[in-house]
Chains A and B, each alone.
Chain A
Amino acid sequence: AQKITQTQPGMFVQEKEAVTLDCTYDTSDQSYGLFWYKQPSSGEMIFLIYQGSYDEQNATEGRYSLNFQKARKSANLVISASQLGDSAMYFCAMREAFPSSGSARQLTFGSGTQLTVLP
Chain B
Amino acid sequence: DSGVTQTPKHLITATGQRVTLRCSPRSGDLSVYWYQQSLDQGLQFLIQYYNGEERAKGNILERFSAQQFPDLHSELNLSSLELGDSALYFCASSVEANQPQHFGDGTRLSIL
Contacts and interface: CB of A to CB of B under 8 A. Distances in A.
B79 interface: no
B73 to A, nearest CB: 17
B82 interface: no
A106 B83 CA distance: 26
B43 A104 contact: no
Interface string B48-79: 10110001101000000000000000000000
B108 A104 contact: no
Contacts, number: 70
Interface residues of A, number: 25
Contact of B98 (A37, A98, A106): A98
B2 A47 contact: yes
Contacts of B106: 43-45
Interface stretch (A10-18, A79-87, A107-115): A107-115
Interface residues of B, number: 31
Contacts of A104: 31, 48, 50, 94, 96-99, 101
Contacts of B103: 37, 44-47
Nearest to B102: A47
Given A44-B105, A103-B50, A111 B97 contact: no
Interface in A87-110: 91, 95, 98-99, 101-109
Interface in B20-53: 30-31, 33, 35, 42-45, 48, 50-51
Contact of A43 (B43, B56, B108): B108
Contacts of B48: 103-106
